[in-house]
Every structure is written in structure tokens, then in C-alpha cells.
């Protein structure tokens, strides 16, 4: 009989690439993770991992086991959801990993709505950039992640996740108010400017870099901050220009800057839960509240609705 805890360990190692990183995510020691993997290999009767320098890779049998592990763990999530629904499950805590702009734009209003519609659902919020929140979800540190499409992100067919698109958000050009192009700037007209933006690794950095490359240049990113208020403050000080997600500018003081809409770049925001858990009675009302708030934003909602229809079919 294969122990499902060892299947979770196998998936964590596959996700993180090293025993040490998987152990940290699972709150175990590396020795404990190695022992669980050795026990799983004994149960299966085949080697599941091979070492490559400091990392590990799945063998052919390991990949087969990982595929079944994803299916088994998703089925367990569904079982927990059905049991919770049977016993009403109207009260409990949900942990959400979410980036700052979405906390303000959709998560906080959804929490406020839940206080009226589902007062027994308590939401615990963890501020996490898009590329970290999915890892927290898959490692069991969060029950729901609100994140963005980014290079290397799991796609809608990923067997570990169920996704619900929320909104598609355009980016705006932000320039010093006295910039010669403040009234007529386009992306390509700012190719030679000093740029301000998030650090490499932040999904928004990839969106900005790709948009500029599509326009024929690589942005000269001199000043870096993951805080969009800091980015706008630097623009206002004349330190450079920036592309900023539109909702990040909402309700922000904009002294000394000019904001210009520009076609092209956008970030697609979605909610994700572990596959099989989307019917959980604690998650269901939160997902519904998030969708309702997102649709009220009026920012890319038609595309989000089309994406939702695609994901529902997965």
C-alpha cells in the first residue's frame, strides 16, 4: 500500500528540484524527506529519482508516479470537499496568498462581502508575489492563490491546479509631468529613456521587458522597486519613466507625473486552488465573491469571462 504522505513528498521534490527545498516547504528535515522517498521507492520497487549535482530529477518511473500522485491528491481534495460540504462546513479559515495590488482591488472587497454573505468564513491573507503564491498553494501553505500569468507559470491544463480567471489589467505609461513627451508619449518613443520597474523575477518585470522588446528595444532598467508607489515617486522625481499596472495607480496620489494609456501590455490575473478543492464549502463562496468583485472592475472583464469558460471545461 502506497502512503499518500510519500506521494506529497514526491510532488514537493519534483516541484522544488532539491530535497532541501522540498523539506523546507513541507516543514520537514532533509533526512525525513530522503527517508520518505526511499520508502516510496521500496513500495514501488523502482528508483524514482536520480541526482544531478545538487538537484534531483525524476526517472521514467518517477514521472509515472508523479502523474498518479497528482490524480490521487486531487481526488483526496475532492473527498475532503465533499465531507466538509456534508457536515455543512459553513465556518472555518481560508488562507489566501495574493500580491499587493490584487489585495486592494479584489481580495479586500471580497472579504468585506463575505462578512455579509458567509460570516463564518475567515480569510487569512499572506502578501506574496505571483510567482511565490502558487508555490505556497502547492506546498499547502495557502488554500487559494491570486496570481498572474508569467513566464514558467503552470498553465490551465496543469493537473495540480484549478484556475479561475479574474481580470485582465492594462499597463499605463508614467512619465515626469514636465517630460517633453508627457502629452503624446508612446512606448517606442521612450526607448532611449531611463526606466524604473520591478526586480527581475517579479512577473511584472517580464511583462514590461517583453512589451518593450515587442516595440523594438530593451528597456534600460536603472532603478528597481517592487513597490509601485515607490516607482511612481521616482518618476515624479524625474528619475525615469515606467510602465505600471492600471489598478496599481488607482487611488494613488500622482504628484508631478503624467499618465498615458498605451496599447499592448497587460497582466492576466487569476485565482487558483488545488485541483479537487474548488467545491469546498469554504472556498466556493470566496471564489464567487472574488469573481463578482473582479467583474465590477470593468478592466478586461470580457477576456476574463472567456478565460473562465475555457477553464471550466478543463
Per-residue model confidence as pLDDT tens digits over 152-210: 778 888 999 999 999 999 999 999 999 999 989 999 999 999 999 999 888 889 889 98
Domain 169-266 has CATH 3.40.190.10: yes
Q: Do domains 4-82 and 91-167+268-299 have the same CATH topology?
A: no
Q: Which three cell numbers stand for residue 304?
A: 476574463
Q: What is the pLDDT along the chain (314 residues), one digit of tens a residue?
A: 777 888 888 888 888 888 888 888 888 888 888 888 888 888 888 888 888 877 888 888 888 888 888 888 888 887 877 776 556 656 788 999 999 999 999 999 999 999 999 888 899 999 998 778 999 999 899 999 999 987 777 888 899 999 999 999 999 999 999 999 998 999 999 999 999 999 988 888 988 998 999 999 999 999 999 999 999 999 999 999 999 999 999 888 888 999 999 887 888 999 999 998 888 888 999 999 999 999 998 754 333 333 433 443 33
* pLDDT of amino acid 303: 36
Closest CA to 176 of 133, 239, 97, 224: 239
* All three cell numbers of 262: 498605451
Q: What are 104-117's pLDDT values in tens digits?
A: 999 999 999 999 99
Distance CA 139, CA 134 (A): 8
Q: What is the pLDDT of residue 273?
A: 96
User: Exposed, middle or buried: residue 261 (CB in 10 Å: 0-12, 13-18, 19+)?
Assistant: exposed
The answer, as to whether pTM is greater than 0.75, is: no
Residues 6+ apart with CB under 8 A from 112: none
Rounded to whole angstroms, the Cα distance separating 60 from 202 reads 33
CATH 3.40.640.10 assigned to domain 4-82? The reply is no
CATH architecture classification, 91-167+268-299: 3-Layer(aba) Sandwich (3.40)
Question: What is the pLDDT of the chain when averaged over all its residues?
Answer: 86
Q: For the packed helices 283-297 and 301-312, what is the interaxial angle rounded to 10 degrees?
A: 150
Q: What pLDDT score does 293 carry? A: 95
Instruction: Find the DSSP H helices in the chain.
Output: 4-16, 19-26, 30-44, 60-86, 100-102, 108-117, 130-138, 203-214, 228-236, 246-249, 283-297, 301-312
Q: Where are the domains of the chain?
A: 4-82, 91-167+268-299, 169-266
Partners of 193 in the β-ladder: none
Amino acid at each position: 500500500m502506497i502512503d499518500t504522505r510519500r506521494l506529497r513528498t514526491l510532488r514537493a521534490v519534483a516541484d522544488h528540484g532539491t530535497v532541501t527545498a522540498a523539506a523546507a516547504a513541507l516543514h520537514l528535515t532533509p533526512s525525513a524527506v530522503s527517508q520518505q522517498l526511499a520508502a516510496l521507492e521500496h513500495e514501488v520497487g523502482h528508483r524514482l529519482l536520480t541526482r544531478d549535482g545538487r538537484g534531483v530529477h525524476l526517472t521514467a518511473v518517477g514521472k509515472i508516479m508523479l502523474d498518479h500522485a497528482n490524480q490521487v491528491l486531487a481526488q483526496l481534495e475532492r473527498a475532503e470537499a465533499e465531507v466538509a460540504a456534508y457536515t455543512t462546513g459553513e465556518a472555518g479559515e481560508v488562507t489566501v496568498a495574493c500580491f499587493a495590488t490584487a489585495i486592494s482591488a479584489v481580495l479586500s472587497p471580497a472579504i468585506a462581502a463575505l462578512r455579509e454573505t458567509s460570516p463564518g468564513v475567515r480569510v487569512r491573507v499572506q502578501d506574496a508575489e505571483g510567482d511565490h503564491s502558487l508555490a505556497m498553494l502547492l506546498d499547502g501553505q495557502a488554500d487559494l492563490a491570486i496570481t498572474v500569468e508569467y513566464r514558467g507559470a503552470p498553465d490551465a491544463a496543469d493537473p495540480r491546479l484549478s484556475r479561475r480567471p479574474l481580470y485582465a489589467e492594462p499597463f499605463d505609461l508614467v512619465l515626469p509631468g514636465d517630460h517633453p513627451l508627457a502629452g503624446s508619449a508612446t512606448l517606442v518613443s521612450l526607448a532611449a529613456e531611463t526606466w524604473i520597474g520591478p526586480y527581475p523575477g517579479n512577473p511584472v518585470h517580464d511583462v514590461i521587458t517583453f512589451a518593450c522588446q515587442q516595440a523594438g528595444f530593451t528597456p534600460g532598467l536603472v532603478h528597481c522597486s517592487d513597490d509601485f508607489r515607490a516607482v511612481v515617486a521616482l518618476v515624479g522625481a524625474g528619475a525615469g519613466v515606467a510602465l505600471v499596472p492600471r489598478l496599481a495607480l488607482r487611488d494613488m496620489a500622482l504628484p508631478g507625473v503624467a499618465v498615458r494609456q498605451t496599447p499592448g501590455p497587460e497582466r492576466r490575473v487569476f485565482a487558483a486552488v488545488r485541483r479537487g478543492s474548488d467545491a469546498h464549502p469554504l472556498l466556493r463562496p470566496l471564489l464567487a465573491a472574488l469573481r463578482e468583485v473582479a467583474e465590477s472592475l470593468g478592466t478586461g472583464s470580457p477576456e476574463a469571462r472567456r478565460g473562465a469558460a475555457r477553464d471550466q471545461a478543463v
